[in-house]
Structure 1
């Protein structure tokens, strides 16, 4: 199993392509759909689904284009299911008033922490609110990888000054759901370089 980090759009939001020999999962296609399509075609992969860590505009900008091109479903937490079609909630109305984002509903709405299997990919889902109400972290135990969205970063944590953000809730999410993972767990954040749970436990000044 392989993975690739592809920063997209003006905020350089990390999209991740997690792949086996033939298929792949797409995390947070924030912008530049043609860049993603070109990469997937070059690797001769067949996407199976899009997994969203949350529904802020910089993580969903290419979602509809990717879904339509590959005819694949998207997964999102129920607390942000309505955000895809609401520019005020996903933030695009504030930052891009001339081109607000109104996307199609997600095909799969996640209602709780659970095991999720798509093709050969098996994830454990953690509800990690704080940065946003419906933030999800996806844990791939067999590879020791965590796709944390904007919850946990290298030496930082997610901002909580956006609608639905809560600083105390974010710290609780990190402490109760993420820090108990093994030290060598690779953290794949929504922005910036990857890190590990062990490194953040020791050196993150916010924790």
Structure 2
């Protein structure tokens, strides 16, 4: 089951729609919804001191992302960096094309490098986790790595983020070995990637309609539920005021924190697909029987 966040008890962060479909909810934060997934733009366009792209959307997203960036920050203005929460196809689909187009560094956790430098594929999806057609179709989703090895950089060891002053990165594995979330303490803003998402991803209807709910990571592509649980608990302990996830609308406020704590406390009952492939047997890179390396 999922913890339901009905419209009556959730505060959706107000946004202002700008050109090319970009939704701004703070002077230096905006996002672009690309079918089922979000990319985030960090940077205040009125200041002209640079910007950062967080994640790279679907394989068909290059043009939409460039067009949105041109409208928000100025034509042909390239980012200071691309920061990857992880390398699944819906987050890294246009990464190779964007890295070539802008010639900028791509930062990721070292445990995510095999999926971003062409060396390893992710574990197979689990289509029987329940929830709807998206889950059933998940074996058809791409698992192969992208290759941006020439642009790839390790995130700073002190957990700061390049060109994002005041932000830190947090290792939040489970959905992917090198998954990270981004955190700004000053206003308690969390960019969670897929460690938690704010709409159901197993159902086509929910993914399209963006019904606001609190969920753990998308079930069909989560190979380690023990790590996923610890990541959710870590994020709940931050007491975020605003959450921007990889799927769903930005949400904020005390009701969201309550639901997040409920998810963290009852994670096994709420998020984990009982008896399914990875619930009791996490997939690890190099593990016999679940070897993701080619």
TM-score past 0.5 threshold: yes
1:71 & 1:134 partners in 2: Cα distance? Answer: 23
Does residue 108 of structure 1 match 2:108?
A: no
User: Which is strand-richer, 1 or 2?
Assistant: 1
Structure number with greater Rg is 2
How much has 1:133 moved relative to structure 2?
A: 1.3
* Alignment counterpart, residue 168 of structure 1, candidates 226, 229, 244: 226
Determine whether 1:152 maps to 2:209.
no
Q: Greater CA deviation, 125-134 or 82-91?
A: 82-91
CA displacement 1:85-113 (0-9 Å, x = unmatched):
2573287995356x95532225212385x
The CA distance in 2 between the partners of 1:117 and 1:167, in whole Å, is 27
Where do 5+ consecutive residues of structure 2 fail to align?
A: 1-26, 126-137, 199-213, 265-294
> Following the alignment from structure 1 to structure 2, what is the Cα–Cα distance between the partners of residues 91 and 46?
35
Secondary structure of the corresponding residue to residue 157 of structure 1: coil
Conservation of the 8 A alpha-carbon contact between 1:128 and 1:135? yes
Give the number of equivalent residue pairs: 200
> What is the TM-score with the length of structure 2 in the denominator?
0.60
* Equivalent residue, structure 1, for 2:38: 14
After superposing the two structures, state which structure 1 stretch, 51-60 or 123-132, moved more.
123-132
Quote the residue 1:28 is aligned against: 55
Larger relative contact order (C-alpha < 8 A, sep ≥ 6)?
Answer: 2
In the TM superposition, residue 200 of structure 1 has moved relative to its aligned partner by 3.6
1: CA distance, partners of 2:69 / 2:82: 13
Map 1:74-89 onto structure 2 (within 5 A). 74-84=106-116, 85-86=118-119, 88-89=121-122
Mapped to 2, the partners of 1:127 and 1:134 lie a distance apart of 7
> Where do 5+ consecutive residues of structure 1 fail to align?
none
Match of residue 52 from structure 1: 84
SS in structure 1 of the partner of residue 239 of structure 2: coil
Provide the secondary structure at the position in 2 that maps to 1:16.
strand
Distance 1:2 1:101, change over 3 A: same
Q: Distance in 1 between matches of 2:42 and 2:155?
A: 20
User: What SS does structure 2 have at the residue aligned with 1:152?
Assistant: coil
Call closer, same or farther: CA 1:96–1:150 in 2, change over 3 Å.
closer
Report the Cα distance in structure 2 between the residues aligned to 1:59 and 1:90, rounded to whole angstroms. 16
Kept in 2, the 8 Å contact 1:160–1:167? The answer is no
Q: Retained in 2: the 8 A contact 1:80–1:133?
A: yes
Alignment root-mean-square deviation, CA: 2.8
**Equivalence for 1:206:** 263
Q: Is the 8 A contact 1:115 1:122 kept in 2?
A: no
Q: Kindly tell me: are residues 206 and 181 of structure 1, through their superposed partners in 2, closer, same or farther at Cα, counting changes over 3 Å? A: closer
Q: 1:201 to 1:167 in 2, by over 3 A?
A: farther
| 2:278 corresponding residue in structure 1 | none
1:67 matched to 2:134: no
Cα distance change of structure 1 residues 107 and 167 upon mapping to structure 2, 3 Å threshold:
same
Q: Name the stretch that deviates more: 71-80 or 152-161.
A: 152-161
Q: TM-score, normalised by structure 1?
A: 0.83
